[in-house]
């Protein structure tokens, strides 16, 4: 048992830590034991202080490629699946060995989008993760690459950045910490522009921030900065703070957790939401969207009203009564999500109309509200 007497004051308690391939391999073609040992030592230290931690770890494909002696650039199906299947157990074995001296038990979780799409799958996964956390077990999660192939887009997260945001959303984390091999989000690509400056804090992810993210990619992982920003958006929309920071900085984890200003902090855009609202915002089960006018947006946001047909301008997608849909304004910004009382077909007929005309127009009436306040989450 390794004793660790250092103490850190912690600002965040429940933390999802995403470890990317480039970091875990230290930009080589195999898992880097020293790098992983350093990260595990820091995680163990926070765990001893009572932090609840879940790891989302990449590195399976890289480790499998290495074991099979395949070149770094082999891509496509079935190679990625083959490599991942070989590498996943090696990855877990490495973690097992590294956590063991700290007397920390780990658990493996392999997830696909399909697992979480229906509410019961989402809740079962959530309950398991929470129960493991309560027992002091650190779950180590990866995408189940063997079953979630690129061809089945709706089944695959595609990158562990998005998966980590989904996990943070699911367990209602205080912080999603994305550790990578760059210092955070810069004003330009730091690899090619010497004047690029680190952005310490992002209040709101807008199109300007998305533009900055484009063009900064890493060598081994699937996600570049773009997927990290997508992940940050999903997590901050669910009330989770996100920090993107450089995992190579010594003691980065305790520093960040104690509130040191390192990396880029993305502030949560809402306060904590309840589980059902977070699920609706996760986008896992979203079937379409409706675009509403500014008056309706104001009524939803400020007066906390239900959404009526009168404020709806456009419908997008094929959805049925009872499905989850996104709500956007006319400039394309997402305002929230909710469970619709009317199908896309029906909303196309009643959009822009007063509610009392619904029965005459449709020959049936499910109420004045297209989305009732109780089934609505507004950002």
159 lines the binding site for ligand GLU (CB under 6 A): yes
Stretch of 137-145, 198-206, 240-248, 290-298 contacting ligand GLU, by CB under 6 A? 137-145
Query: Which regions of the chain does DSSP assign to beta strands (E)?
Result: 14-19, 52-57, 106-111, 138-143, 175-180, 201-202, 241-246, 264-266, 286-292, 307-308, 312-316, 324-328, 334-339, 369-371, 376-378
66 lines the binding site for ligand GLU (CB under 6 A): no
Treating both helix axes as pointing N-terminal to C-terminal, what angle do 160-171 and 225-237 enclose, rounded to 10 degrees?
10
111 lines the binding site for ligand GLU (CB under 6 A): no
| CB 59 to ligand GLU: min, Å | 5
| CB 71 to ligand GLU: min, Å | 16
The Cβ of residue 295 has, within 10 Å, a number of other Cβ atoms equal to 10
| CB 284 to ligand GLU: min, Å | 18
Which of 59, 109, 224, 254 binds ligand GLU (CB under 6 A)? It is 59
Which of 58, 115, 180, 264 binds ligand GLU (CB under 6 A)? It is 58
Stretch of 29-37, 54-62, 185-193, 370-378 contacting ligand GLU, by CB under 6 A? 54-62
307, containing H or E segment: strand 307-308
155 lines the binding site for ligand GLU (CB under 6 A): no
Spell out the residues 6+ positions from residue 297 whose beta carbon is closer than 8 angstroms to its own.
Answer: 311, 329, 335
Q: Which is nearer to ligand GLU, 113 or 351 (CB)?
A: 113
Residues 84-103 that bind ligand GLU (CB under 6 A): 84
Terminal alpha carbon distance of the chain: 46
143 lines the binding site for ligand GLU (CB under 6 A): yes
247 lines the binding site for ligand GLU (CB under 6 A): no
Torsion sign, CA atoms 368, 371, 376, 379:
negative
Q: What angle do CA 63, 68, 74 make, to 5 degrees?
A: 80
56 lines the binding site for ligand GLU (CB under 6 A): no
145 lines the binding site for ligand GLU (CB under 6 A): yes
222 lines the binding site for ligand GLU (CB under 6 A): yes
Nearest to 8, CA basis, from 55, 41, 56: 41
* Residues in binding contact with ligand GLU, number by CB under 6 A: 16
Treating both helix axes as pointing N-terminal to C-terminal, what angle do 79-99 and 33-48 enclose, rounded to 10 degrees?
50
265 lines the binding site for ligand GLU (CB under 6 A): no
Which of 47, 141, 178, 223 binds ligand GLU (CB under 6 A)? It is 223
CA 374, CA 355: separation in Å to the nearest integer? 18
Which CA distances in Å does 34 have to 6, 12, 37, 95, 118?
Answer: 20, 26, 5, 12, 40
142 lines the binding site for ligand GLU (CB under 6 A): yes
Which of 94, 160, 328, 343 binds ligand GLU (CB under 6 A)? It is 160
Instruction: Point out which residues bind ligand GLU (CB under 6 A).
Output: 20-21, 58-62, 84, 142-143, 145, 159-160, 221-223
């Amino acid at each position: 048992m390794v004793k660790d007497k250092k103490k850190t004051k912690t600002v965040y308690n429940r933390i999802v830590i995403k470890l990317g391939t480039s970091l875990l391999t230290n930009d080589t073609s195999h898992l880097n034991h020293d790098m992983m040992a350093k990260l595990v030592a820091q995680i163990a230290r926070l765990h001893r202080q009572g932090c609840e931690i879940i790891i989302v770890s990449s590195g399976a494909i890289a480790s499998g490629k290495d074991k099979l002696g395949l070149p770094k650039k082999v891509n496509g199906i079935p190679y990625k699946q083959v490599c991942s299947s070989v590498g996943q157990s090696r990855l877990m074995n490495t973690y097992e060995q590294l956590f063991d001296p700290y007397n920390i038990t780990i658990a493996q979780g392999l997830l696909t989008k399909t697992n979480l799409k229906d509410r019961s799958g989402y809740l079962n996964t959530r309950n398991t993760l929470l129960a493991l956390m309560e027992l002091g077990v650190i779950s180590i999660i990866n995408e189940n690459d063997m079953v979630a192939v690129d061809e089945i887009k709706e089944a695959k997260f595609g990158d562990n950045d998005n998966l980590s945001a989904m996990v943070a959303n699911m367990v209602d984390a205080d912080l999603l910490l994305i550790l990578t091999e760059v210092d955070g989000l810069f004003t330009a690509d730091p690899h090619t522009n010497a004047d690029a400056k680190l952005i310490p804090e992002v209040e709101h992810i807008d199109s300007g921030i998305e533009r900055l993210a484009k063009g900064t990619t890493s060598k081994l992982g699937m996600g570049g900065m773009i997927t990290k920003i997508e992940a940050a958006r999903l997590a901050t929309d669910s009330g989770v703070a996100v920090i993107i920071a450089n995992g190579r900085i010594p003691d980065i984890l305790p520093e960040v957790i104690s509130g040191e200003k390192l990396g880029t902090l993305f502030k949560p855009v809402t306060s904590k939401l309840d589980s059902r609202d977070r699920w609706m915002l996760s986008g896992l089960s979203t079937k379409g969207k409706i675009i509403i006018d500014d008056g309706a947006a104001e009524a939803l946001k400020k007066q906390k009203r239900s959404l009526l047909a009168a404020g709806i301008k456009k419908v997008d997608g094929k959805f049925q009564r009872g499905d989850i849909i996104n709500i956007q304004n006319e400039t394309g910004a997402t305002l929230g999500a909710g469970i619709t009382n009317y199908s896309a077909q029906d909303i196309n007929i009643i959009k822009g109309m007063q509610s009392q005309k619904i029965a005459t127009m449709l020959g049936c009436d499910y109420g004045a509200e297209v989305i009732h306040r109780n089934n609505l989450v507004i950002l």
